[in-house]
Amino acid sequence: MLIVLARRLANIVPTVVAVMALVFLLFSVLPGSFISGMNEDGRSTIDPAVMERMRKEMGLDDPLPERFAKYMINVATGDLGTSFRTREPVTKLIGVRVWPSLKLVFAAMLFAISVGVTLGFLAALRPGSLIDTAAMVGAISGLSLSQFWFGLMLMYLFALTLGWLPSFGYGDGGLRNLILPAVALGVGPMALLARTTRAAVLDVLNADFVRTARSKGMSERRVVEWHVLRNALVLVVTIVGLQFGSLMGQAVVVEKLFAWPGVGSLLVDSVFQRDMPAVQGCILMIVLFFLFINTLVDLAYVAIDPRIRYR
Amino acid sequence: MQLKGGSSLWIGGGLVAAAILVAIFAPWIALTDPVMAANLMNAEIPPDWEYPFGTDAQGRDIYSRIVYGARVSLTVGIASQICNSLIGVTLGLTAGYWGGWWDDVVSGLTNLMLAIPSLVFALAIMAILGPGLLSLVVALGLTSWSFSCRIARAQVLSLKSQGYIQAARILGYSDLRIMFTQVLPNILGPLIVIATLGMGGAILAEAALSFLGLGIRPPFPSWGSMLSEARDQIRTVPWLSVFPGLAIFFTVLGLNLLGDGLRDILDPQSTTRRT
Amino acid sequence: MTAPLLQVENLRIALASSGTTFDAAEGVSFEIGRGEAFGLVGESGCGKSITALAIMGLLRRPLSLASGRIVLDGQEIQNVSAAEMRRLRGKRIAMIFQEPMTALNPLSPVGKQIAEMFVLHQGASWRDAMDRAEEALRQVRVPSPERRIRDYPHQLSGGMRQRVMIAIALACGPDLLVADEPTTALDVTVQAEIIDLMAELCAAKGTAILMISHDLGLVANMCKRVAVMYAGRIVESQLADAIFARPSHPYTQGLIDSLPRLGERARRGRQRLTEISGVVPSIQAYPSGCRFNPRCPSVTDVCRSLAPDTTALPTDGLVRCHHHG
């Protein structure tokens, strides 16, 4: 367990450095420097002298590798720089966003897992039945939905027409505000999980050891409880991990739609304001979350599958 | 697999064919010009016989705008998937074939692409390139090639171990010729499946980026930008939001069904099952 | 003579395939006495495995039991309820499968997989059942069973896994053990050990064996009586000793000729092993008449048009060939 953890953590560092280098490079080399961008956007024209001072202040005139090295050293010490716009430390800017983001992502995933896995499971136990057909039609429809359009329709129906739930915003951070964005965000992973679970359970039901279990005189229910569930779980966990990990990034649109104060909406706002330190900080956060979830998934494998330890 | 192989192929193929026909024949199918036919006298008319999907705040016919929007979605979908396939296949083939440090570089890149959610990556690229159709194709065409790359690489490695490649080399085939004549035909089926499913993803991503204001900018109609405009009026003019969303839904549903159906035919071992 | 333990009468197994059904096996009849070892021999695809599954009530789509009777200890079991069949499975008839690699659940310790039997059929507590699983492992001569019960299948060798399968199958002292190619996937040296172990344990417990194999030599050594199956039909059944001495069906003759035999070269000089020409036909394409006719060396016109009936042999056997009777 510890070895797996250590190996995973050792893998995270180079990935993070590479991601940061990529983002840094993209925003530094390509046209539209941030200062000039401010100018073009500019409702206020900036005095060239002021611009010169800003460039100096932000160290934008230093050579690129030096700037990157400086940035990475700062990141390593927990300093993500200062926002161009608000003049606040980016860590603080992101800090207040992390909790709402996590709440949304976890709620969406909870919805996706509870509904998706259950549906896939029921479908696999009765292949070809009405529930199977319905679940799979639902699943492929869920995969084809545009997140934000689905969110918009939910908003129209449950908030504006029926008035059951608030239409947008974080509110007091309670459950009522969370439901609609979480469902909108979770519907894609839910559909994917329903399909994966169904395929996984069907695979396992055809396995030789399930025939062995039946030959022991086990009821179908016991066969499923004792032998199918855990084996299907191994396959499902992979998808849960990948979906879960990328969800914070996927959330940008839903967060924008529901005015949810998460990392995703900060990212979009920062992109529009060409606030590079904040953009980098948000992407770092999203990537770290992905890598963190993946580490958890690897640990989950070790817990579920005895074969892994010995590989 | 899901549904019956046959029916999902036909329903999906039908929906996709319909979308393509609409895009090609947009000028004949549309009732009015999608941008210029604004008329404030006709603003916000609910769906009726004259305006089947209603009109927007500027009095433009939603139906006609959706018809033209199909062009954007399909162009972005097809062009970006061609990019992704080319990048993925090239990297995957060469990495698997040559191995060594190049393989390490490619698998590093693939892991990198996996770690950054593709929508976030595309968002960053759009921020740099600015809005527009070409930027969309570039942003979406550069960000989801890891799947085809992985499949191409795996196929090369498996053919290598079966001695195919050794045999071809002994016959004096050049590296490129081996890659294109021996390996590529073997992965064409899975690649088509991936591209079909990826097209659906790209159309959804285009809509999302346009919705955020980074993709196609109004007044030019794209399904995403129409939704972006419609959002503020959801309370008073809901039909503005309903129809572009349905257009996205049915197009992407068609592509997903078609992909599933094609997989049953082209890739029975299912290397392309979405993971 | 007492009633046999298992009577299989006129079994017909149907294979449903895109709208039509084919007979995967038909007219399969045999009897197994208490404690007797009975062999069922044939090339792969001849229907022996599905016959075994039919007896276990484990046929699954697209296969199904179309007609015939299966009588266990005087009770017809082909139509009993699923719950009743479950009580028989494991407790009175148990089965060992070909692939010990995949026949055990990879995520469950082997001890637990044995212990399930005691929990299922004897209402034992898990703690008690685990103790008995350890004992069962000791009986199949797995070394240091107290450690091995906590091992997972991937930590055991193929032979050890098959021993675990035997322990599972014999856990509740069944009347009949169905062994479907139990040693095919194992090393030759291990094969003999496993066969001896099975025979010994079954003899001690009075368990009858239905031994299914493509290896006529192996089956003849172990079993008193042998039935040979070809393309879904039993073509010959005989006493094991008699079948080598006087094979009656050309197919049996072919099987025997294709066996290498120790000392044969010294006795008859250097000789090629003969093989049976051609391949087993697929279920969808069984030839009319005698199903062996396209591969038979002594084929005549009647073989191509008319399916032969069974003929009694003087040595208490049956053969299904036009050239007898």
HEC readout, chain C: CCCCCEEEEEEEEEEEECCEEEEEEEEEEEEECCCCEEEEECCCCCCHHHHHHHHHCCCCCCEEEEEEEEEECCEECCCCCHHHHHHHECCCEEEECCCCCCCCCCCCCHHHHHHHHHHHHHCCCHHHHHHHHHHHHHHCCCCCHHHHCCCCHHHCCHHHHHHHHHHHHHCCCCCEEEEECCCCCCCHHHHHHHHHHHHHHHHHHCCEEEEEECCHHHHHHHCCEEEEEECCEEEEEEEHHHHHHCCCCHHHHHHHHCCCCCCHHHHHCCCCCCCCCCCCCCHHHCCCCCCCHHHCCCCCHHHHHCCCCCEEECCCEEECCCCCC
CATH of the domain at A228: 1.10.3720.10
Q: How far apart are CA A227 and CA A210, in angstroms?
A: 7
Tokens of A60: 């934008």
Question: Token pair 């545009």 is at which residue?
Answer: A146
For chain A, give me the number of helices (H) and strands (E)?
Answer: 13, 0
Distance of CA C123 to the CA centre of its chain: 30
For residue A215, the chain C residues in CB contact (below 8 A) are: 56, 58, 89-90, 94-95, 97
Looking at CA atoms only, how far is residue B263 from chain A in angstroms? 14
Which residues does residue B55 pair with via DSSP β-bridges, in sequence order?
B61
Neighbours of chain A (3+ CB pairs under 8 A): B, C
Nearest to B245 among A133, A136, A153 (CB): A153
- In a mutagenesis test of the B interface, which of A24, A41, A133, A148 is the best target, namely the one with the most B β-carbons within 10 Å? A148
Q: Which residue of A has its CA nearest to C177?
A: A215
Higher pLDDT, C162 or A301: C162
For chain A, give the number of residues.
311
Using a pLDDT cut of 90, give the percent of chain C over it. 25
For residue A256, the chain B residues in CB contact (below 8 A) are: 211-212
pLDDT (tens, 9 = 90+) of chain B, 275 residues, equals: 444 457 888 888 888 888 888 878 777 776 777 666 666 666 666 777 766 767 766 767 777 788 888 888 888 899 999 999 999 999 998 888 888 888 888 888 888 888 888 888 888 888 888 888 888 898 899 888 888 898 888 888 888 777 777 888 888 888 888 887 878 888 888 888 888 988 998 999 988 988 888 888 777 788 888 888 878 877 777 878 888 888 889 999 999 888 888 888 887 666 555 44
Answer whether A126 touches C (CB < 8 Å): no
Q: How far apart are CA C273 and CA C293, in angstroms?
A: 21
Q: Are B242 and A160 a contacting pair at CB < 8 A?
A: no
> Residues 151..180 of C with a Cβ closer than 8 Å to A: which?
152, 154-155, 165, 168
Any idea which of A86-90, A282-286, C211-215, C302-306 has the lowest mean pLDDT?
A86-90
Q: How far apart are CA B28 and CA A68, in angstroms?
A: 54
> Per-residue confidence at C268, pLDDT binned at 50, 70, 90?
low
Answer whether A281 touches B (CB < 8 Å): no
Answer whether B234 touches A (CB < 8 Å): yes
Does residue A89 sit in helix, strand or coil? strand
With respect to residue A189, please indicate whether it lies within any of the assigned structural domains: yes
- In a mutagenesis test of the A interface, which of C107, C121, C162 is the best target, namely the one with the most A β-carbons within 10 Å? C107
Answer whether C307 touches A (CB < 8 Å): no
With respect to residue A6, please indicate whether it lies within any of the assigned structural domains: no
Answer whether A230 touches C (CB < 8 Å): yes
State pTM to two decimals. Answer: 0.83
Angle at A108 between CA A102 and CA A114, to 5 degrees: 130
Q: How much is the pLDDT for B2? A: 43
> Per-residue confidence at C297, pLDDT binned at 50, 70, 90?
confident
Which is it for strands C208-213 and C176-180: parallel, antiparallel or unpaired?
A: parallel
Q: Are A19 and B116 a contacting pair at CB < 8 A?
A: yes
Asked if residue C161 lies in contact with residue C104, where contact means CB atoms within 8 angstroms, the answer is yes
Answer whether B124 touches A (CB < 8 Å): yes
Q: Which residue of C has its CA nearest to A234?
A: C107
For residue B125, the chain A residues in CB contact (below 8 A) are: 26
Q: How much is the pLDDT for A36? A: 46
Q: How much is the pLDDT for B189? A: 85
Where b means 16+ CB within 10 Å and e means fewer, A109-130 reads bebbbebbbebbbbbbbeeeee
Answer whether C4 touches A (CB < 8 Å): no
Which residues does residue C94 pair with via DSSP β-bridges, in sequence order?
C177
Q: In what order do the strands lie in the sheet with C63-72?
A: C20-32, C6-17, C63-72, C75-76
For chain B, give the number of residues.
275
Angle at A58 between CA A55 and CA A63, to 5 degrees: 80
DSSP letter, residue A162 = S
Q: How far apart are CA B127 and CA C256, in angstroms?
A: 78
pLDDT tens per residue, range A203-232: 898 888 999 999 998 988 899 989 998 899
Answer whether A231 touches C (CB < 8 Å): yes
Tokens of C84: 């009743």
Answer whether A119 touches B (CB < 8 Å): no
With respect to residue A223, please indicate whether it lies within any of the assigned structural domains: yes
With respect to residue A50, please indicate whether it lies within any of the assigned structural domains: no
A-B contacts at Cβ under 8 angstroms: 142
C and A: touch, per 3+ CB pairs < 8 A? yes
> Residues 179..218 of B with a Cβ closer than 8 Å to A: which?
200, 204, 207-208, 211-214
Q: Are B112 and A274 a contacting pair at CB < 8 A?
A: no
> How many structural domains comprise chain A?
1
A179 has a pLDDT exceeding 90: no
Nearest to C104 among A209, A234, A307 (CB): A209
Asked if residue B211 lies in contact with residue B21, where contact means CB atoms within 8 angstroms, the answer is no
Any idea which of A40-49, B202-211, C123-132 has the lowest mean pLDDT?
A40-49
Maximum pairwise Cα distance, chain C: 67
With respect to residue A191, please indicate whether it lies within any of the assigned structural domains: yes
Q: How far is CA C235 from CA A140, C217, C218, C269, in A?
A: 52, 17, 19, 31
> Residues 69..128 of C with a Cβ closer than 8 Å to A: which?
83, 85-91, 94-95, 97, 99, 102-108, 116-117, 120-121
Q: How much is the pLDDT for A46? A: 54
B and C: touch, per 3+ CB pairs < 8 A? no
**Mean pLDDT across chain A, nearest whole number?**
82
With respect to residue A242, please indicate whether it lies within any of the assigned structural domains: yes
Does residue B55 sit in helix, strand or coil? strand
Asked if residue B169 lies in contact with residue B156, where contact means CB atoms within 8 angstroms, the answer is no
With respect to residue A82, please indicate whether it lies within any of the assigned structural domains: no
Any idea which of A36-45, A209-218, B121-130, C301-310 has the lowest mean pLDDT?
A36-45
Q: Are A18 and B227 a contacting pair at CB < 8 A?
A: no
End-to-end Cα, chain A, rounded Å: 12
pLDDT tens per residue, range A243-272: 888 898 889 999 988 888 989 999 988 888
Q: How far apart are CA A166 and CA A160, in angstroms?
A: 8
* Mean pLDDT for the stretch of residues C75-93: 88
A45 has a pLDDT exceeding 70: no
Answer whether B147 touches A (CB < 8 Å): no
* Mean pLDDT for the stretch of residues C224-239: 89
- In a mutagenesis test of the C interface, which of A211, A212, A218 is the best target, namely the one with the most C β-carbons within 10 Å? A212
Using a pLDDT cut of 70, give the percent of chain A over it. 87
Identify which of C180, C100, C181, C179 has the alpha carbon closest to the alpha carbon of residue C142.
Answer: C100
Looking at CA atoms only, how far is residue C108 from chain A in angstroms? 8
Answer whether B11 touches A (CB < 8 Å): no
Q: How far apart are CA B30 and CA B65, in angstroms?
A: 8
Q: Which residue of A has its CA nearest to B200?
A: A144
Any idea which of A164-168, B1-5, C60-64 has the lowest mean pLDDT?
B1-5
Q: Are C116 and A305 a contacting pair at CB < 8 A?
A: no
Which residues does residue C11 pair with via DSSP β-bridges, in sequence order?
C28
What ipTM was reported for this prediction?
A: 0.87
Answer whether A227 touches B (CB < 8 Å): no
Q: How far apart are CA C1 and CA A299, in angstroms?
A: 63
DSSP letter, residue B30 = -
Which is it for strands C93-96 and C20-32: parallel, antiparallel or unpaired?
A: unpaired
Asked if residue A98 lies in contact with residue A285, where contact means CB atoms within 8 angstroms, the answer is yes
Looking at CA atoms only, how far is residue B159 from chain A in angstroms? 25
Q: How much is the pLDDT for A123? A: 92
For chain C, give the number of residues.
325
The range of the structural domain enclosing residue A282 comes to 98-304
Identify which of C250, C242, C227 has the alpha carbon closest to the alpha carbon of residue C308.
Answer: C250
With respect to residue A262, please indicate whether it lies within any of the assigned structural domains: yes
**Hey, what amino acid is at B185?**
P
For residue B255, the chain A residues in CB contact (below 8 A) are: 144
Q: Is C231 left (phi over 0), alpha (psi -120 to 50) or beta?
A: left
